[in-house]
Amino acid sequence: MNNLASALLDKIGSKQARIGVIGLGYVGLPLVKTFLLKGFHVTGFDVDAKKVDMLNRGKTYIRHISAAELKDFLGRKKFRATADFRGLRDVDAILICVPTPLDGHGSPDLSFVLNSTITVAENLRQGQLVILESTTYPGTTDEEMLPILEAGGLKGGRDFFLAFSPEREDPGNKNFSTATTPKVVGGLTPDCLKLAKTLYDQIIVKTVPVSSTKAAESTKLLENIFRSVNIALVNELKMIFDRMGIDVWEVIRAASSKPFGFMPFYPGPGLGGHCIPIDPFYLTWKAKEVDYQTKFIELAGEINRFMPYYVIGKTVEALNGQGKSIKGAKVLVLGLAYKKDIDDSRESPSLKIISLLQQKGAKASYNDPYVPHVVGHREYPGLELNSVPLTKALLKKVDAVVVATDHSAYDFDWIVKNAPLVVDTRNAIKKHRKNVVKA
């Protein structure tokens, strides 16, 4: 280990290292909070001036990040947010937590990662540690980031240090936080790995070192592909069992009684969040380089993408059964967040369901206690709606209610009692009711 690495290692071990986090969203902000709670000084970087201003005023835009905590750290001068990336020169470790979406053709869009890397390269100095946390395909860190960072003459593994450690955020999970979820780490060189592992050892319950950045990148893809494929399986079984008059939820409950060899997954109206609907296709794209077709991944994606259409079909069928047409029908979608009790609507199947309802001429509205307004989603640029108050009068006025997200705040007995028709995509209503259709 050279002198630069040794000096940085000492700084990290004594918590004197200054931390910079690029991207202050659902991954970056919890990471900032975790470093702060463990005694580090942190600077948060983001291109969104509105986010920066809110954070510096002690206000939060993510439900599970406390404003009181932010104000405390700001008061003790342990944290600040900025849109001035020249401040990267003043930190010792730079962690990149930016989006990695798909483009309009379903291929990886690394623009956020690469633009962030260019910005880091413009401000890079000797002795800094750079870690990518954004989910991506194997080879991104070594093949895409490293040449950009070395273009100024500094050498990776000698003058600066590079690693990959995939984020494992699960918004709304009360059992596991950033600090209590083990962290996989891969480095460009052994020194890079040691530095990155030591950094995370200060804040995470357990670090899991792997042999390379590619192995670390692949680990995150495996985690999300595993979920995508299994969710697709139960979604397909739901549609098959529905035709057979079998309750898939009852079948899953029964199968879950087996104490070995089975892990329950649950069907729904489609996939949401920034990980599972997107990440598997990063490997699909990369696999083409080695002339391999990822059949399981692509089939799972096809099934999961179809689920909002299935929900619409069941809604149309249920309305027809009441002598009503989907065209002109008033349909209330309950829940815009992609899963219960969170405020994250990224890639939510509710957005697709609302869009499809509008295309069929329905008058669609939504209610979500955690998402008061929706506008500017990447795939739905023209969609702009406000959450409507959930009242008895509204329920009696609509033609159908689609339960897309089963928030704990919803009183489903009250909803079923007052709505003429409920299309339940989450098994939120357990008992058989005449006006409830499972979808």
Q: How far apart are CA 211 and CA 188, in angstroms?
A: 9
For CA atoms 169, 177, 260, 428, the dihedral sign is negative
Convert the pLDDT of each residue in 189-229 to its tens digit. Answer: 999 999 999 999 999 999 999 999 999 999 999 999 999 99
Q: Which domains does the chain have, with CATH numbers?
A: 3-211 (3.40.50.720), 242-438 (3.40.50.720)
Q: How far apart are the first and last CA of the chain?
A: 59
Q: Is 228 helix (H, G, I), strand (E, B) or coil?
A: helix
H/E stretch holding 436 reads strand 436-438
- pLDDT tens digits for the chain (439 residues)? 899 999 999 999 999 999 999 999 999 999 999 999 999 999 999 999 999 999 999 998 887 788 888 888 888 889 999 999 999 999 999 999 999 998 888 899 999 999 999 999 999 999 999 999 999 999 999 999 999 999 999 999 999 999 999 999 888 788 899 999 999 999 999 999 999 999 999 999 999 999 999 999 999 999 999 999 999 999 999 999 999 999 999 999 999 999 999 999 999 999 988 788 889 999 999 999 999 999 999 999 999 999 999 999 999 999 999 999 999 999 999 999 999 999 999 889 999 999 999 999 999 999 999 999 988 677 777 788 999 999 999 999 999 999 999 999 999 999 999 999 999 999 999 999 999 999 9
CA atoms within 13 A on the CB side of 181: 18
User: pTM of the full predicted structure?
Assistant: 0.92
pLDDT of residue 170: 86
Other CB atoms within 10 A of residue 180 CB: 12
Q: How far apart are CA 175 and CA 416, in angstroms?
A: 31
* Structure-token pair, residue 359: 């295309």
Convert the pLDDT of each residue in 263-276 to its tens digit. Answer: 999 999 999 887 88
Query: Known catalytic residue: 275?
Result: yes
pLDDT of residue 193: 98
Distances (CA, A) of 142 to 115, 128, 146, 204: 16, 17, 5, 25
List 91, 95, 275, 364, catalytic entry: 275
The torsion angles phi and psi of 321, rounded to 5 degrees, stand at -65, -20
Q: How far apart are CA 279 and CA 283, in angstroms?
A: 7
pLDDT of residue 376: 67
In the block, which residue shows the tokens 């099934």? 303
The torsion angles phi and psi of 306, rounded to 5 degrees, stand at -75, -20
- The partner residues of 184 in beta bridges, in order of sequence, read 208
Question: Residue 422 carries which side chain, given as an amino acid letter?
Answer: V
- The partner residues of 95 in beta bridges, in order of sequence, read 21, 131
